[in-house]
């Protein structure tokens, strides 16, 4: 069974925590160390960012991380090599997050084949049009049993959300706001109303809430309204500041208690 489906099937009532980091930042060869450290520290699922020169959905923290990674020489081919080296040590789901241009250049067939060879269970392609996903990407991804995770936001219509729910597997990435990524101190009434609206839709797929989670309040709001939370910018900042994934995790867990 795909590790993403297995994770959600076996979680019971436990709320999940997923972290994002950008491969190749702060150091080119740190990818494997970060993944194995996060697994050891109790993270349930990891999003590994593929650096790209023009990441439209990302805020300044993740954009900066991508710039550093590219300067360090990170490429998708190198990333797959790093993931393959630790494949046998990784038990939790890995999800690659990257933009369409990079993946198309690598080739969809090669991309999903490499995912399987390197232990990757899913991918998120923020700028992949849903029509292209259905016609060109889904048939290949299904053949390799790799989940293509779709995002929804407060701007997404209920009709489209149901359509996404009907045509994807794994989980739905529920973006907390229609803005770019970045830490926030709290989720206001508008976001909570959005969470309640989606809860009332009784979707088939589990949901993970991301964008803006950085403290106890935002984490609790996300975990109360979904299967779990995804933290990106906050962890990327801490990893850059410390240069050490263990220290970054210490500081993240401390931040999530306040």
DSSP string, 60-125: HHHHHHHHHHHHTT--HHHHHHHHHHHGGG--S-EEEE--HHHHHHH-HHHHHHHHHHTT--EEE-
Show the tokens assigned to 81.
Answer: 């090599």
Is 58 noted as a catalytic residue in this protein?
yes
Contact 77, 107 (CB under 8 A): no
User: Between the CA atoms of 92, 98, 100 and 104, what dihedral angle is there, to the nearest 10 degrees?
Assistant: -70
Catalytic hit among 6, 47, 158, 159: 47
Nearest to 58 by CA among 218, 206, 183: 183
* List 6, 29, 54, 58, catalytic entry: 58
- What are the structure tokens assigned to 178, written together? 């229609």
Q: Which positions are annotated as active-site residues? A: 47, 58
């Amino acid at each position: 069974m795909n590790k993403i489906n297995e994770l959600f099937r076996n979680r019971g009532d436990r709320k999940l925590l997923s972290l994002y980091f950008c491969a190749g930042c702060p150091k080119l060869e740190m990818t494997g160390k970060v993944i194995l450290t996060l697994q050891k520290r109790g993270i349930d699922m990891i999003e590994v960012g593929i650096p790209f020169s023009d990441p439209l959905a990302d805020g300044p923290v993740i954009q900066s991380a991508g710039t550093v990674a590219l300067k360090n020489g990170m490429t998708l081919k190198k990333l797959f090599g790093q993931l393959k080296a630790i494949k046998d040590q990784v038990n939790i789901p890995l999800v690659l997050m990257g933009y369409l241009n990079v993946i198309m250049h690598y080739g969809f067939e090669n991309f999903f084949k490499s995912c399987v060879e390197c232990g990757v269970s899913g991918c998120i392609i923020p700028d992949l049009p849903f029509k292209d996903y259905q016609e060109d990407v889904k048939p290949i991804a299904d053949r390799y049993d790799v989940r293509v995770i779709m995002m929804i936001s407060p701007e997404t219509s209920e009709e489209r959300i149901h359509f996404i729910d009907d045509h994807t597997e794994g989980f739905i990435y529920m973006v907390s706001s229609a803005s770019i990524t970045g830490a926030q101190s709290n989720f206001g009434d508008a976001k909570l109303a959005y969470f309640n609206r989606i809860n009332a839709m009784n979707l088939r797929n589990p949901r993970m809430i991301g964008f803006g989670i950085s403290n106890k309040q935002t984490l609790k709001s996300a975990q109360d309204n979904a299967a779990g939370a995804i933290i990106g910018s906050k962890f990327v900042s801490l990893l850059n500041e410390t240069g050490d994934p263990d220290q970054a995790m210490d500081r993240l867990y401390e931040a999530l208690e306040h």
